[in-house]
Structure 1
Amino acid sequence: MVFPFKFSKVLALKEKEKDAAKSGYNEAVQKFENAATELYVLLKQKEEFIEKKEQQIQKGVPISKIQDAERFLFSLEKSINFWQGQVAKTRRSMEIKQQLLLEKNIEVKKYEKLKEKAWDSFSQFEKKEQNQMMDEISIQQYMNRGNQV
C-alpha cells in the first residue's frame, strides 16, 4: 500500500521556498564579501599611502606633492566612506535573508515532522492489518486441519 501524506504538495512547496531563500542568502553573502573585500583593499591602500607620505615628508618633498597627496587621500576617504556604507547595507541584507532562511527551515522541519508522524501511524496501521491477516490465515489453517481429522 502507498503511503498517503496529505501535505506532500505543501512540503514540496515549502522546500522550494527554502531553496530559494538559501539561494538569496548565498547571493547576499557573496555581495557582502565583495563589499568587505573592496573596503579592506581601500583601507590597506590608505594605510600604505600614509606611511609612504610620511616617509616622503621626512625626506623633504615639495608642497605641490604634499597637496596632491592630500587630494588623493581625500578621494580615498570618500571611497572608504562609500564602501563602509555598502558593507553595512549588504550586512543588513544578509542578516535579513539569513532570518528568512531560518524561518523557511523551521517551516520545512514542521512539515517533515508531520510526515514522520503520519508515517509512524501508517506503518503501525499496516503492521496491525498484517497481524490480523496472519491471525485469520492461522485460524483458517487450524480449522482446515481440524476438519481433516
Structure 2
Amino acid sequence: MAFQFRFDRMMQINESEKKLLEQQYNEIYQQLERQGKRLIALMERKENVQNQFENQKRVKMTIADVMSQTQLLSSISEHLKEEQSRYNQIRTRVEHFHQKLLDKSIEIKKFEKLKDVQRQQYDRIERQKENQLMDEKAAINYLRH
C-alpha cells in the first residue's frame, strides 16, 4: 500500500489559489510600476514648468503670462495630487495581495511539513511491518530445520 496524504486535495487547492494570487499580485504590481512612472513624469513636467517660469520671470513677462503659468502650475499640482492618490491606492492593494500571498505560502508550508511528518511516520510503520515479517519468516525457517 502506497503512502497517501489525506490533505493532498486541500494542498492542491491551496497551491492553485497561490498561483492565482501570484498572477493577481503581478498584475497589480505592474499597475503600480506604470502609475509610478506616470507620477515621476508628472513631477518632472512640473519641475520643468517651474524652471521655465523662473527663467521667464527674469525676463519681461506680462501679467497674463504670469497668470497663465501660475494656473498651469496649479493644474499640474492638482493632477499630481490625484496621481499620488491613485499610486497610494494601488500600493495599498499591492501590500494587501503581498500579505495574502505570504499567508497562503505559510499555509502551504504547514501542509508540506505535515505531509513530511506523516510520510516519515508511514515509512517507520512500514519498516516495522517489514521487520516483523522478516522476523516471522526467520522464525519459521528456524523451526523447519
Aligned-CA RMSD value: 1.6
Q: What is the match of residue 122 of structure 1? A: 122
Letter of the aligned partner of 1:20 in structure 2?
L
Q: What is the match of residue 13 of structure 1? A: 13
Mapped partners of 2:138, 2:59: distance in 1: 106
Letter of the aligned partner of 1:70 in structure 2?
T
Mapped partners of 1:62, 1:137: distance in 2: 110
Moved more, 132-141 or 52-61: 132-141
Q: How far 1:67 sits from its partner (Å)?
A: 2.4
Q: What is the match of residue 35 of structure 1? A: 35
Mapped partners of 1:48, 1:135: distance in 2: 88
Letter of the aligned partner of 1:122 in structure 2?
Y
Q: What is the match of residue 72 of structure 2? A: 72
Mapped partners of 1:137, 1:60: distance in 2: 110
Mapped partners of 1:58, 1:83: distance in 2: 31
- Written as runs of structure 1 = structure 2, the 5 A alignment for 1:102-141 is 102-141=102-141
SS at 2:34 equivalent: helix
Q: What is the match of residue 83 of structure 1? A: 83
Fraction of identical pairs, as percent: 30
- Written as runs of structure 1 = structure 2, the 5 A alignment for 1:48-67 is 48-67=48-67
Structure 1, unaligned runs of 5 or more: none
Mapped partners of 2:143, 2:45: distance in 1: 95
- 1:44-72: per-residue Cα shift (whole Å, max 9, x none)? 11112111210111122333332222222
Post-superposition, which runs of at least 4 consecutive aligned residues in structure 1 deviate over 3 A? 140-144
* Paired residue total: 145
Q: What is the match of residue 24 of structure 1? A: 24
Q: How far 1:117 sits from its partner (Å)?
A: 1.1
Mapped partners of 1:135, 1:48: distance in 2: 88
- 1:13-45: per-residue Cα shift (whole Å, max 9, x none)? 111111222222222222222212211111111
Structure 2, unaligned runs of 5 or more: none
* TM-score, normalised relative to structure 1: 0.87
Q: How far 1:10 sits from its partner (Å)?
A: 0.8
Q: How far 1:142 sits from its partner (Å)?
A: 3.2
Mapped partners of 2:131, 2:65: distance in 1: 95
